Amino acid sequence: MASRFLILCALPLFFVLAASIQEKVFDVRNYGAYGDGKRYNGLAFTKAWNDACQWSSGRSTVYIAPGVFYLRQVTFTGPCKNAITFMVKGTLLAPPNPNFINQDEWILFQYVDSLTVTGGGLLDGQGSFSWPLNDCNKNSNCRALAMNIGFAFVTHSRIDGLRSINSKMGHFNLYGVNDFNITGVTITAPGNSPNTDGIKIGRSSNMHIHDVTIGTGDDCIAILDGTTNLDISHVRCGPGHGISVGSLGRYKDEKNVQGLTVRDSVFIGTTDGLRIKTWAKSISEISVSNFLYENIQMINVGNPIIIDQQYCPNGQCDSSGKYASHVQIKNVKYNQIWGTSTSKEALNMQCSRAFPCQDVELSNINLKYVGRDGLVTALCQNVGGSIRGKIVPGNCQI
């Protein structure tokens, strides 16, 4: 009887404690935000974030309801007291004029731990006004325009179900993140929109990108220096420039790239498929190592498999061929890559003569040329490694 009494007395205390650690919702409308697509909402969003970030009694959620919320630029800074969710149900609308954004990302999260960005909402960068101003294809010192959303020094976090369209430059920018997952996102921009990379990653580690659809005017996923332990799977890529590592080697303080897996994905109508590019005129001696590309379908892809260590855009190298990349590529495996190529050279590996590629393994490759004669070829230079199983095109000597 006494023990039963103690249990009954303890129950109210349990519910009190449970209630005290409940998730609290911070609705931006309660801070003066309007979802009319016209009025500026930056101050309301910042106030809602600051209160949610400092909530110490449990998880907090910043809630953006259905509607169109106009934002010029906004930065959400941690650290926060507890795990925090940024729930986007509506549309966040950027200014069409790029001069209204004076930071690298239109929306930036920085120094946050245990962040979740979710809700199925839309980021609209309204980039069409800015694209004609972009001359990066001929000007190496071109003006940088804002990316849609950035994450800097964010850990143990994830993006789930977000949509991003028409960025001024890139869409998602991740720098210095660790233990970060991206799932269920859709990223869209016209195929002729310049430099609208889908997901750009640098100096980051232990990331997973899964079940994403990306079609833009540049790389679906761009992997820059210092990235380690990155797992990519179930990507639908196209239009765009494929999944690219690099360019690497241009700057002297760059870091190694290692531990990349790309698997179970499809490329549709992209200019490139699986690409590694390093500057011919490189000044840093770094390595690219421990890569696995597996179970990839190519549908009318320009260059399904390409290693380009002669990369030197905008005429920055002369035609003498005297430059040789100092980036070492090693232990890269291609397994079960199949489909169609719109170029005859479906397999193109031009490695550095100063630092030849090492331990490149090709296995079960079947790529066909969609041209009239159907003759598919390979170009392989300065490549060391091995071949296993059937390889088409089969004239790559490594």
Catalytic amino acids? Answer: 241
CA distance 229 to 212: 18
CA distance 94 to 167: 9
How is 232-294 classified by DSSP, letter by letter? EEEEEE-SSS-EEEEEESSSTT---EEEEEEEEEEEES-SEEEEEEEETT-----EEEEEEEE
Contact 366, 328 (CB under 8 A): no
| Residue given tokens 């390093």 in the structure block | 278
Other CB atoms within 10 A of residue 66 CB:
11
Strands (E), 111-238: 115-118, 122-124, 147-152, 155-160, 163-165, 172-175, 178-183, 186-188, 199-202, 205-215, 221-223, 228-237
Give Cα separations from 80 to 49, 56, 91, 129, 341 (angstroms). 10, 9, 25, 36, 49
